[in-house]
Chain A
């Protein structure tokens, strides 16, 4: 009976102040869409950065004219270096076929294979990457190690670049989300404030006949939550449609999208609904604290 009363009052109020309710709902919708898009994106970029980081190795690139004999000699030398766990040979053909997968058209255009033969030197422990690198580049020049070696690189620079990109994405997403959450809270607060104003007579009467503080507050809190939850639900519908009709077909034809592990859609529903309800409860609370001194 009481729950029913609160719900009826809340829905009644939402309908009466439909303009401000709609504004709040739209903001919550946009906020939740942003959250719903950025959570998987941030997760995916972080995942990419992590795979690069986990592949800590030193690559030894040969000069284009290096012979099999050169390669055997270098391999023998590398085996002498401390902390080397494994040396993996990647021929230019292998390298080409690997790269072609990511961008077939571009590599077909090239015609010739620009990639050198490579040794991937994997250390026993990632922390030895630098010492192996310096051992393979005495005096800072790879040529001093063996004349057939063109360059020695570790993935440190690559990792750094990827991390920079990831951080940028994360920070941008965080700032946007915070701003949008703030806007949502304020708009919900405004909606509730208007609702309080339009129902001040009812509040007055309720106080007069002895309704308890929370009995007066609940309909307004529920009104806010209804608006917030409706916004989140709409956002989820949009995200769900996008996922089923855009992302899933893409993922099946294009491997890159499916590789990073991201949040499951069920969990996303929970997160977004929770966030929507929380945001609107905070918004309602803000107005009730300021404008409803019961």
Chain B
């Protein structure tokens, strides 16, 4: 069952790859795919965000297609977190339009926001786990508070914990886990509903390089099931090695949007990990 869904999503991802790349053309992609509505999962059109006079984001336009794996890089205060928070409608843009999974965020009323958020998984640097609940309960909690039935919980939680490699830690408390394991729990919680979009804000910020690679590998594995993954980070070395699409922000402006090096979309997670662990050699295609 898991295999069949993976195959299905892979074919869908290929279809997207064929039509929606190169990424720079994505902004215009809406008109291109008139028949099926927009294909991009995320679309920013001239989005600005001002914080009491300070610029958080300035006239940002980009689009991210279904099944893409995108890095959002930039120095602290460059607007990475603003983009993330705009995407889950925690913030309202000062100007411009944001579309996520076919919804214009300005059209989503206050009462509909929770239902919208169920389509977006979010992972943070500080994990945001509940310290007095076990791994299993932490993940089940996400289903419980969104009205999941007991049957659903019993079916989905062990599944996602197997995917994230936590099957042996079900009954541990977060404090009994390493940082990497805690981040896995947080990813499991974000992914348990199988949202079409997964956002990760500095997911490896607190982790050592080796553990970071494991987390990236996990995110890539999730990406290969068809989920669009957006990772905000300032781990430049990791970004270079991963060779995925990179959006760079500086002082609220998008200053770079390109695929860092050529990357093979059908690389297995094992190959990816092997490549990431390899001694740092300048990847081909980067000066």
What is A's interface to B at a CB cutoff of 8 Å?
1-2, 5, 201-202, 204-213, 215-216
- In the complex, A207 Cα to B117 Cα: how many Å? 8
- In the complex, A213 Cα to B114 Cα: how many Å? 8
User: Given A1-B149, A5-B144 in contact, is the A205-B111 Cβ separation under 8 Å?
Assistant: no
Main secondary structure of the interface of A (DSSP, over half): helix
Contacts of B193 in A (CB 8 A): 209
Contact with A along B151-183 (1 / 0, CB 8 A): 000000000000000000000000000000000
Whether, in the assembled complex, B150 has its beta carbon less than 8 Å from a beta carbon of chain A, the answer is yes
A205-B130, A208-B117, A215-B145 are known contacts; what are 7 more A-B pairs with Cβ within 8 Å?
Answer: A205-B142, A207-B114, A209-B141, A210-B146, A211-B146, A213-B111, A215-B147
Contacts of A216 in B (CB 8 A): 145
User: Given A1-B149, A2-B147, A5-B144 in contact, is the A209-B128 Cβ separation under 8 Å?
Assistant: no
User: Given A5-B144, A201-B128 in contact, is the A209-B149 Cβ separation under 8 Å?
Assistant: no
Query: Whose C-beta in chain A lies nearest to the C-beta of B118?
Result: A210
Q: How far is the CB of A221 from chain B (nearest CB, A)?
A: 16
23 contacts between A and B (CB under 8 A): A1-B150, A5-B144, A201-B130, A201-B131, A205-B128, A205-B142, A206-B145, A207-B117, A208-B128, A209-B142, A209-B145, A209-B189, A209-B190, A210-B114, A210-B116, A210-B117, A210-B118, A210-B146, A211-B145, A211-B146, A212-B111, A215-B114, A215-B145
Contacts of A213 in B (CB 8 A): 111, 114
Contact A211 B130 (CB under 8 A): no
- In the complex, A15 Cα to B131 Cα: how many Å? 17
- Selected from A1, A204, A209, the residue in CB contact (under 8 A) with B117 is A209
Q: How far is the CB of B175 from chain A (nearest CB, A)?
A: 14
- In the complex, A205 Cα to B149 Cα: how many Å? 19
- In the complex, A212 Cα to B122 Cα: how many Å? 17
- In the complex, A204 Cα to B115 Cα: how many Å? 16
Interface centre among A1, A207, A211, by most chain B C-beta atoms within 10 angstroms, is A211
Contact B146 A209 (CB under 8 A): yes
Contacts of B190 in A (CB 8 A): 209
Contact B150 A208 (CB under 8 A): no
Contacts of B141 in A (CB 8 A): 205, 209
- 4 cross-chain pairs, A with B, having the tightest CB-CB distances, nearest first: A210-B117, A210-B118, A211-B145, A209-B142
Q: How far is the CB of A14 from chain B (nearest CB, A)?
A: 15
Q: How far is the CB of A1 from chain B (nearest CB, A)?
A: 7
Contacts of B116 in A (CB 8 A): 210
- In the complex, A206 Cα to B193 Cα: how many Å? 14
- In the complex, A201 Cα to B144 Cα: how many Å? 16
Contact B128 A212 (CB under 8 A): no
- Selected from A1, A2, A208, the residue in CB contact (under 8 A) with B122 is A208
- In the complex, A2 Cα to B144 Cα: how many Å? 9
Q: How far is the CB of B145 from chain A (nearest CB, A)?
A: 4
- In the complex, A205 Cα to B133 Cα: how many Å? 13
- In the complex, A132 Cα to B115 Cα: how many Å? 80
Q: How far is the CB of B113 from chain A (nearest CB, A)?
A: 8
Query: Whose C-beta in chain A lies nearest to the C-beta of B138?
Result: A205
Contacts of A1 in B (CB 8 A): 149-150
- Selected from A204, A205, A209, the residue in CB contact (under 8 A) with B118 is A209
Contact A202 B146 (CB under 8 A): no
- In the complex, A210 Cα to B146 Cα: how many Å? 6
- In the complex, A22 Cα to B179 Cα: how many Å? 38
Q: How far is the CB of B120 from chain A (nearest CB, A)?
A: 8
- In the complex, A213 Cα to B130 Cα: how many Å? 19
- In the complex, A5 Cα to B116 Cα: how many Å? 23
- In the complex, A206 Cα to B141 Cα: how many Å? 8
- In the complex, A245 Cα to B119 Cα: how many Å? 63
Contacts of B150 in A (CB 8 A): 1
- In the complex, A211 Cα to B190 Cα: how many Å? 13
Contact with A along B91-129 (1 / 0, CB 8 A): 000000000000000000001001111100010000010
- In the complex, A211 Cα to B111 Cα: how many Å? 11
- Selected from B115, B128, B131, B149, the residue in CB contact (under 8 A) with A210 is B115
Q: How far is the CB of B189 from chain A (nearest CB, A)?
A: 7
- In the complex, A5 Cα to B130 Cα: how many Å? 16
Q: How far is the CB of A288 from chain B (nearest CB, A)?
A: 15
- In the complex, A206 Cα to B189 Cα: how many Å? 11
- In the complex, A204 Cα to B129 Cα: how many Å? 10
- In the complex, A201 Cα to B138 Cα: how many Å? 12
Contact A202 B130 (CB under 8 A): yes
Contact B130 A212 (CB under 8 A): no
Contacts of B131 in A (CB 8 A): 201
Contacts of B111 in A (CB 8 A): 212-213
- In the complex, A212 Cα to B131 Cα: how many Å? 22
Contacts of A208 in B (CB 8 A): 88, 117, 122, 128
Query: Whose C-beta in chain A lies nearest to the C-beta of B116?
Result: A210
Query: Whose C-beta in chain A lies nearest to the C-beta of B128?
Result: A205
Q: How far is the CB of B56 from chain A (nearest CB, A)?
A: 20
